[in-house]
Amino acid sequence: MNRKTLVAALVGALAAGGMVGGTTVAFAQADVIKQRQENRKATAGEMRAIKAVIDSKGDAKTVVASAAKLKQLENAFDKLFPAGSDKGETKALPTVWSDSAGFQAASKAADAAYDKLAVAAGSGDLAAVTAAFGDTGKACGACHEKFRAKAN
């Protein structure tokens, strides 16, 4: 479909009071779901980077930036679940919306784990980073258990 035809179709739908509003909502839902997925991909990347430092017995202080990024990602993530964004290609379980308080608590637990990870990294103590990383993984896993569908 060329650009003029697409514009004409949209104008016609608006004039006829068609489903443009519903389509806009569907696009918005798909967009927020995509944002959630990209956020979690970035989170996984930061976790892999930290694990690489631990496995290589690298400089623990290099984890500070990743811990800060994890916190930033988490602060954005829990806002990416507006009402109605449970439809589409998402692994978010209905409990995200039915137990919003629990979901927020899980997000706060992850946030606290990221803070502890940052403190451990700032100390330069790789053993402390390793322990804090384990706790961070547990906080992430606890959220996945209740609020994320298992991969097939």
What is the pLDDT at residue 28? Answer: 64
| Residue 47 CB contacts under 8 Å (≥ 6 apart), including other chains | 66, 70, 136, 137, 140
Q: Is the pLDDT score of 130 beyond 90? A: yes
Instruction: Please check whether residue 7 lies inside any domain of the structure.
Output: no
CATH at residue 124: 1.20.120.10
Q: Is the pLDDT score of 8 beyond 90? A: no
Q: Is the pLDDT score of 13 beyond 90? A: no
Rounded average pLDDT over 143-147: 94
Total domain count, the chain: 1
The string over 128-140, giving b where at least 16 C-beta atoms fall within 10 Å of a residue's C-beta and e elsewhere, is bbbebbeebeebb
- Give the tens place of pLDDT for each residue, 73-111: 999 998 999 998 998 899 999 999 999 999 999 999 999
What is the pLDDT at residue 43? Answer: 97
Instruction: Please check whether residue 10 lies inside any domain of the structure.
Output: no
Residue 29, domain extent: 20-147
Instruction: Please check whether residue 2 lies inside any domain of the structure.
Output: no
- Give the tens place of pLDDT for each residue, 16-58: 333 444 444 454 667 999 999 999 999 999 999 999 999 999 9
Tell me if residue 8 falls in helix, strand or coil: helix
DSSP string, 95-147: HHHHTHHHHHHHHHHHHHHHHHHHHHHHHT-HHHHHHHHHHHHHHHHHHHHHH
Among 92, 74, 75, CA closest to 83: 92
In DSSP terms, 148 is beta-bridged to 92
The string over 46-77, giving b where at least 16 C-beta atoms fall within 10 Å of a residue's C-beta and e elsewhere, is bbeebeebbeeeeebeebbebbbbbbebbeeb
Instruction: Please check whether residue 6 lies inside any domain of the structure.
Output: no
Instruction: Please check whether residue 11 lies inside any domain of the structure.
Output: no
